[in-house]
Every structure is written in structure tokens, then in C-alpha cells.
């Protein structure tokens, strides 16, 4: 009887030992499976985050979407925005606009998908006539209906330049500066004239 009990106990011990060995063998597999599931979940999460962000991204592909982009930018959410003019130059897009009647412009860059992502925005407050320089040789003159300047004369690196404007009207004028061998431009002797040709002091 005693030997039978010992034999039974030995069988039980062996059974538990075998079960323990199987458990130890399966443990690395369980860990690997858990890591695989976690990795797949994170990958899926990253994909959805990227997809959601991409679908929510606003682009300046037309006038309506440019308005949406401007209104999405902090500080411009509730402003009255009027797009005055849009111009494309290679992969860049410039839009002159009025924000609460203040002249400004926004710059976009075309991405590989052909969409225009905004890069820079600038507004000059309490001005009727504002000059912006988005590129080294490009000037954007943005005006509102209070602008009374009809003509501007300026010396650029010693060369006299004259530019006309439409007074008392929201407008964007694109000025391309003359090429120069110098590393910079020098602007001197600004003169502004009204619609009657009178010098504005």
C-alpha cells in the first residue's frame, strides 16, 4: 500500500513537473505573441493618426480653402478676411488679403501631392498701403480702400523705379526688382504721389 501511494505521488509530481516544463516552454511564445500584438496595435494606431491628420490638413488650393486656412490660424479665427489677389510662382503660392481691413499676405508651398501647405502669414496693422518682401527680388504691395497713393518712385541700388497703383481700392501689386551683382538691395528717396500727381508728404 505504501509503495502504491509513493508511486501515485511520484506520478503526480511528474505530471506537475511536465506541466511546469510545458508552461515554461510556452511562456516565451506568449511573450512574443504579446509583443507582436502590441507592435501591430501601435502600427495601426500610427497609421490612423497619420491618416486622420492628413485628412484634417487644410490646403490653400483655391480661394475658398485659403480663407479656411487663414481662419484656422491662431489670431485670425474671427477676423474678417478678404482675398484680394492670388499669384503662383513655381511651387509657391502667394495670396494678398485684408484682415479686418489691414493689408497682409500668406505664403503656400506645393507638396508632392500637388496641395498647397501654408508656410508664412504676415499682416500690417493700421496701414492702408503695405509693402511685403516674400522673396529677395519680389515686392508685394497690398492696399485697402483707404489708400490714396497712386504712384511711387524709389531708387533701388541707384536705379530709379516707378510703380503706379489704383488709389482708394483694395489691390495687390507685384514688383520685381532689377537684378543686381550686389549681395543686397538699397532703397532710397521714396516719393509718393496722389491721383492728381501731387507729392504726398
The model's pLDDT over 18-31, given as tens digits with 9 standing for 90+, comes to: 554 555 555 565 66
Q: Are residues 99 and 6 in the same domain?
A: no
Average of per-residue pLDDT across 150-174: 94
How many domains are contained in the chain? 2
Closest to 127 (Cα-Cα) out of 146, 152, 151: 146
Q: Which of 3-7, 88-92, 179-183 has the lowest mean pLDDT?
A: 3-7
Q: Are residues 52 and 98 in the same domain?
A: no
Q: In the predicted model, what is the mean pLDDT of the chain?
A: 83
Separation between Cα atoms, residue 4 and residue 24, nearest integer Å: 30
Average of per-residue pLDDT across 188-199: 95
Q: Are residues 142 and 111 in the same domain?
A: yes
Q: What confidence score (pLDDT) does residue 78 get?
A: 94
Q: Using DSSP, how many helices (H) and how many strands (E) does the chain show?
A: 2, 11
Q: Under a CB-based contact definition with an 8 Å cutoff, are residues 85 and 79 in contact? A: no
pLDDT of residue 47 exceeding 70, the answer is: no
Domain of residue 92: give its range.
Answer: 63-200
Beta bridge partners of 175: 139
Q: Are residues 92 and 180 in the same domain?
A: yes
Q: Report pTM.
A: 0.71
pLDDT digits (tens, 9 = 90+) for 165-175: 999 999 999 99
pLDDT digits (tens, 9 = 90+) for 77-95: 999 999 999 999 999 999 9
Q: Are residues 7 and 79 in the same domain?
A: no
Q: Are residues 178 and 121 in the same domain?
A: yes
Residue in the block written with cell 511711387: 152
Q: What confidence score (pLDDT) does residue 196 get?
A: 95
Percent with pLDDT over 70 in the chain: 72
Phi, psi of 15, rounded to the nearest 5 degrees: -65, -45
Q: What confidence score (pLDDT) does residue 52 get?
A: 41
Q: Are residues 40 and 12 in the same domain?
A: yes
Q: Are residues 186 and 141 in the same domain?
A: yes
Amino acid at each position: 500500500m505504501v509503495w502504491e501511494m509513493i508511486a501515485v505521488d511520484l506520478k503526480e509530481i511528474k505530471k506537475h513537473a511536465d506541466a511546469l516544463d510545458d508552461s515554461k516552454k510556452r511562456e516565451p511564445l506568449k511573450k512574443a505573441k504579446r509583443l507582436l500584438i502590441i507592435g501591430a496595435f501601435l502600427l495601426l494606431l500610427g497609421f490612423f493618426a497619420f491618416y486622420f491628420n492628413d485628412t484634417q490638413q487644410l490646403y490653400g488650393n483655391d480661394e475658398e480653402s485659403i480663407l479656411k486656412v487663414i481662419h484656422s490660424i491662431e489670431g485670425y479665427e474671427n477676423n474678417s478676411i478678404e482675398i484680394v489677389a492670388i499669384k503662383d510662382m513655381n511651387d509657391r503660392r502667394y495670396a494678398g488679403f485684408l484682415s479686418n481691413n489691414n493689408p497682409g499676405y500668406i505664403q503656400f508651398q506645393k507638396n508632392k501631392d500637388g496641395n498647397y501647405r501654408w508656410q508664412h502669414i504676415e499682416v500690417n496693422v493700421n496701414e492702408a498701403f503695405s509693402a511685403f518682401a516674400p522673396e529677395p527680388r519680389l515686392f508685394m504691395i497690398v492696399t485697402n480702400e483707404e489708400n490714396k497713393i497712386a504712384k511711387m518712385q524709389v531708387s533701388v541700388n541707384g536705379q530709379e523705379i516707378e510703380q503706379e497703383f489704383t488709389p482708394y481700392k483694395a489691390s495687390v501689386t507685384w514688383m520685381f526688382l532689377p537684378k543686381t551683382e550686389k549681395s543686397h538691395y538699397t532703397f532710397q528717396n521714396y516719393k509718393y504721389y496722389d491721383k492728381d500727381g501731387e507729392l504726398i508728404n
